[in-house]
A and B are shown apart, each in its own frame.
Chain A
Amino acid sequence: MRILKFLLRKEFLQIFRNKLILRMIFALPVIQLILLPYAATYEIKNITLSVVDHDHSEYSRKLINKFTASGYFLLTDYSNTYKQALDKVENDEADLIVEIPEGFEKDVIRQNESIIMFSANAISGQTAGLAVAYANSIVKDFNNDVRVEWLPQSRLSSIPVIEITSSNWFNQLMNYKDFIVPGVLALLVTLVGYLMSSLNIVKEKEIGTIEQLNVSPIKKYQFILSKLIPFWVLGLLVMTIGFIISFIIYGIYPAGSFWVGYLFAGVYLIALLGFGLLTSIYADTQQQAMFIAYFFMLVFILLGGLFSPTENMPDWARYLTYINPVSYLIEVMRMLVLKGSSFWDLRYHFLVVSVFAIVFNSLAIFKYKKTV
């Protein structure tokens, strides 16, 4: 115990003497929490629209007005021909072309139907898909308006219509930030915990001080604990800073208990730091450790469900998310912040992450050798 006290004092002195790391610990949560939620938004607004109106009728004007009034589209161009509009798409000046045929109004009134064409720039498939979906619902709306105008009042009421209204639970306004901010919090804890712990032992290897420790009567567990505890504390500190910032900027705070959040992050950090220690045991230089850490971070984040829901992944990728500790933290953070889940609701997550903690740390203790 006494040895551990001295080792911990050394680690904390070193961390707090490293001004750059200290600044990063504060700057990282602030900047990530400010930037990421805005940069990583799913909502697509300001879709640039090019209209080719061959009809120039009251109806075509009404339809175009509906597009511009929706808030999703920015009318940037009126072209005379489809070809001209296509040039706009090629120059990246338009995302969607709406072509209204000649006689559109006439056909709608006389024949009860007409055809308009949407052409979307599918360089970004997501934008294109959403643009067409928005456009479809606008046209559907337009259809209803026309029907109301032409059907006699008495007949209208006899048409059975099933209307679907939905209510979004746990995030009623479908506020994207409520969804992404807890994920970014999870990311922050992971980044600080994993990177710092994986680089730490390697640094001692590189400068040769580890040899001095290896010839001393320090026990393995004392050494490992002296490396775990400081970063465990730092990880929780960063999470606290993150909570404060997300409350100040976004007004987001857990609907559930803070203590459950800290308890989970505490267990999670033990698992993650164990993994960081494993990384640093296998790497001989900080460069190697950095590269390994970067590789895992990227995989963890992409398979963690931060940006894309894990439910959308193919089966094999979804199975990978089961062994990705980061995905558990992201999920728990969201459940806590949005749903207000209790410890009992999260028992499965606690169990899995505890298993990770035991496995990674046992491996780290087993693999760390005081001999060369």
Chain B
Amino acid sequence: MILPVRAAAVGVITLALNGCATEGGTALPPGEGHLNGAIVVFAAASLTDSFTTIAGSFGEENPGVRVTLNFGGSTGLAAGILAGAPADLFAAASSETMRAVSDAGLAVEPTVFARNFLAIAVPEGNPAGITGLADFADPAKRIALCAPRVPCGAAAARVLDAAGINAVPDTLEEDVRAALTKVELGEVDAALVYRTDVLAADARVDGIELRQAAGAGNDYSITRLSDARNPRAAAAFATYVLGPKAQDLLGEAGFEID
């Protein structure tokens, strides 16, 4: 039996901000500003917190639009989009996963909106005394990595490769939040996640920065999808993510922005 684990664990967060739309109250002509309808955003698991906040703020400014967010590993989301999942926008955690969608001719203007860096996450207080990447080669340490097919796993492979470390992970998680959860629960001694994940789980997780490590960075891009059912609102959301307010929120979450 195959169950949609991520859907159960993370869930689809619906921000129902409808109802306060000004019906006929504004004089704006249709096509300018008066957005409505629903949009579905497929976003990388590492964007869970920032995109939830951004979608909330977008919804306040565009009360006619209902934003539904679906988070997961970028690779799985891309596979879903290629298989015809009804999404209006795709926010990927790496250029490779975005390329899978744009090569299929489904992406309209993919644009980089933030950059993220890997970091080592350890349970609070660092009980196993992890000091750096070298510990990832220690079989006595419990290590979680992302599966190589998802962006955080690809980045982890790059970083470990560049550092000449032959890591011995105990589990390969299907997205970065699953790896982070294993650290939060104290089930592993360390995991390679993004620095934004360490910040998001501040209370239960300590982090070791890897910003200087070669290959530690990933470019995040967002695109409207060519078969979006609500292209106007989708374009507005993509623009909003590149705008000052969303960029500030991303910066606060630990992303590098221009």
Asked if A and B are interacting partners, one says no
Chain A positions near chain B (C-beta within 8 angstroms): none
Q: Which residues of B approach A to under 8 Å, CB–CB? A: none
